[in-house]
Amino acid sequence: MGLFQYIETSVENEIGFITLNRPKQLNALNRTMVGEIVSAAEEFDRDTQVKVILLSGHGKAFSAGADIDEMANDNPITLELLNQFADWDRLSLVKKPIIGAVKSFVFGGGFELALSCDLLIAAGDTLFSFPEVTLGVMPGAGGTQRLTKLVGKTKALEWILTAERINAETALKYGIINKIVAPELLMEEAIAFARKIAVQPSLAVRMIKDSVNKAVDYSLYEGMQYERKNFYLLFASEDQREGMEAFVEKRKPNFTGR
């Protein structure tokens, strides 16, 4: 794993941990940091020891958004030349499931990072918000698109236009998060959740993530065709044979991820 300035990484029990590590700035995301998060996720994606990626933040908050100091003097040309959102696009190409464990402030780019995860566990004290409008801008790393696809136009517009802070209960009600846990149990619960996926045969997990994500972009017909190909593909795996043989033989399967 590369050396990183703004994040920490580790692997334990088939979980690849990425921890945002700018706690004094509430894990405000500067560009280097976003690049590091994506590079670490890509490395874990290639690492056969890792089944699930778990993204969380050191300190009080998950992330208070993009680093406003860094962004303040940008202009359209510097933004075009930096092409920083290419990093965010790469994050969407990671094939292993990414679980976000979030707490306290999940604002702006931090909310967009959370929405880029596949599953989210939130501490009871979590507040989600898009405060960009109060800065004279708008979400730029997928916020208007991902939130709208999740909760529908009505609430997405209300929340993004008013910078409302949404609490964990509301986020759960609207399907933004999977689960609310006590703040002191956040990592423990997130690891238990990650383990439930890590024990599954990893090729099936991969194809399920891929197929479900396609449902967001494809028509039902296109999505069904896509699902079918992934379903067929899994019948080329040793794990399919092992899983079904084990069922017939009434024994526990021994999956290899092949």
The 3-state DSSP class for residue 54 equals: strand
Please state, in angstroms and rounded to a whole number, the distance separating the CA atoms of residues 47 and 241: 24
Please state, in angstroms and rounded to a whole number, the distance separating the CA atoms of residues 104 and 110: 11
Q: How far is the CB of 35 from ligand CO8 (least distance, A)?
A: 10
Q: Which of 114, 132, 171, 198 is catalytic?
A: 132
Give the position of tokens 């996926």: 197
Tokens at 249, concatenated: 């033989």
Q: Which of 109, 110, 142, 143 is catalytic?
A: 109
Is 18 or 203 the residue whose CB approaches ligand CO8 more closely? 18
Q: How far is the CB of 165 from ligand CO8 (least distance, A)?
A: 9
| Burial of 43 (C-beta count, 10 Å sphere; 0-12/13-18/19+) | middle
Q: How far is the CB of 102 from ligand CO8 (least distance, A)?
A: 13
Please state, in angstroms and rounded to a whole number, the distance separating the CA atoms of residues 152 and 233: 33
Residue 245: active-site member: no
Residue 43: active-site member: no
Query: What does the binding site for ligand CO8 look like in residue numbers (CB under 6 A)?
Result: 25-26, 28-29, 34, 64-69, 105, 107-109, 112, 131-132, 135, 139-141
Q: Which of 112, 142, 171, 190 is catalytic?
A: 112
Tokens at 143, concatenated: 């916020």
Is 100 or 108 the residue whose CB approaches ligand CO8 more closely? 108
Tokens at 2, concatenated: 């590369």
Is 103 or 209 the residue whose CB approaches ligand CO8 more closely? 103
Is 165 or 214 the residue whose CB approaches ligand CO8 more closely? 165
Residue 249: active-site member: no
Q: Which residues pair with 66 in a beta bridge?
A: 29
Residue 12: active-site member: no
Active site amino acids = 66, 109, 112, 132
